[in-house]
């Protein structure tokens, strides 16, 4: 699959840390001409991601914005399309899982507002603003990072499940609105061994061991093990897939007819 983004420009939001950083580096390894590395506050991490992108042979363009602000998203889109001319792929990776929350009993109004603003409003604004510009250039693909909580819910953080469920509505709506030139899909990973997950109170209390036992694949993967699957939806190989929800959780959820 190496070279599947040859000559193309790919953008990843939240690429300063975690899964986003891994996605950006993998896009470069897969031949992207330029990888746009977005961050909000992780400037140091974004610079480190950009260094790895360049080491993999791609150009790196760093952009900063808070995705809950439409004005900042418009300005960022102006920069990206102004610098590159075209953007062929976008991964909306930014999300908030209320990682510091241990139980539904800990829900606060502030947390509800923040999670829904990031996961629903932020994702929608990104798809809306970048999607319409991709439509103007008559090609493009967008992948929204969801979660298996869409299927199984989250007794730990119901606001997180609600936010990611909203991502499905955004994906399906814009898959129709931007068709046939621009594809929009949701990639739904299960648990990954990221710093944010490993530092969660419930994980430290033994949840991780329980999840491994309940996962047919027998492990909780590193982000590197899932990045290629997520980027598949951005590639030409997935050219007939749009408005879809691709689950990647080692069999934990066991979806089926």
Q: What domains are there in the chain, each with its CATH number?
A: 9-248 (3.40.50.720)
The answer to whether the Cα torsion of 176, 251, 115, 123 is positive or negative is negative
- Picking from 99-113, 187-201, 212-226, 236-250, which range would have the lowest pLDDT averaged per residue? 187-201
Question: Mind spelling out the 3-state secondary structure of the chain?
Answer: CCCCCECCEEEECCCCCHHHHHHHHHHHHCCECEEEEEECCCHHHHHHHHHHHHHCCCEEEEEECCCCCHHHHHHHHHHHHHHHCCCCEEEECCCCCCCCCCCHHHCCHHHHHHHHHHHHHHHHHHHHHHHHHHHHHCCEEEEEECCCHHHHCCCCCHHHHHHHHHHHHHHHHHHHHCCCCEEEEEEEECCCCCHHHHCCHHHHHHHHHHHHHHCCCCCCCCCHHHHHHHHHCCCHHHCCCCCCEEEECCCCCCCCC
Q: What is the pLDDT of residue 19?
A: 94
Q: Give mean pLDDT, residues 197-212.
A: 80
Is residue 137 packed enough to be buried (19+ CB in 10 Å), middle (13-18) or exposed (0-12)?
Answer: middle
* Cβ atoms of residues 220 and 211 within 8 Å: yes
What are residue 61's DSSP bridge partners? Answer: 36
Q: What is the pLDDT of residue 102?
A: 80
Task: Give percent of the chain above pLDDT 70.
Answer: 98
Give the separation between CA 50 and CA 57, rounded to whole angstroms.
11
pLDDT tier at 98 (50, 70, 90 boundaries)? confident
Closest-CA residue to 93 (of 200, 21, 150, 183): 21
Decide if pLDDT at 2 tops 70.
Answer: no
């Amino acid at each position: 699959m190496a070279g599947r983004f040859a000559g193309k420009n790919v953008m990843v939001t939240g690429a300063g840390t975690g899964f986003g950083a891994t996605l950006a580096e993998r896009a470069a390894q897969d031949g992207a001409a330029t990888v746009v590395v977005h961050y909000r506050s992780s400037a140091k991490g974004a610079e480190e991601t950009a260094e790895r992108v360049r080491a993999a042979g791609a150009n790196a363009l760093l952009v900063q914005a808070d995705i809950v602000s439409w004005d900042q998203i418009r300005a960022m889109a102006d920069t990206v399309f102004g610098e590159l001319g075209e953007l062929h792929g976008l991964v909306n990776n930014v999300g908030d899982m209320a990682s510091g929350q241990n139980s539904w009993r800990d829900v606060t109004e502030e947390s509800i507002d923040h999670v829904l603003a990031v996961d629903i409003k932020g994702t929608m604004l990104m798809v809306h603003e970048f999607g319409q510009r991709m439509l103007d250039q008559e090609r493009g693909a967008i992948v929204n990072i969801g979660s298996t909580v869409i299927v199984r819910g989250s007794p730990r953080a119901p606001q997180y499940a609600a936010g990611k469920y909203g991502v499905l509505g955004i994906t399906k709506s814009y898959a129709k609105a931007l068709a046939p030139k621009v594809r929009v899909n949701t990639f739904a990973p299960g648990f990954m061994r990221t710093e944010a997950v490993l530092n969660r109170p419930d994980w430290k209390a033994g949840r991780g061991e329980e999840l491994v036992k309940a996962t047919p694949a027998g492990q909780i993967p590193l982000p590197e093990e899932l990045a290629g699957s997520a980027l598949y939806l951005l590639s030409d190989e997935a050219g007939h897939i749009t408005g879809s929800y691709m689950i990647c959780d080692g069999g934990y959820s066991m979806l089926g007819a």
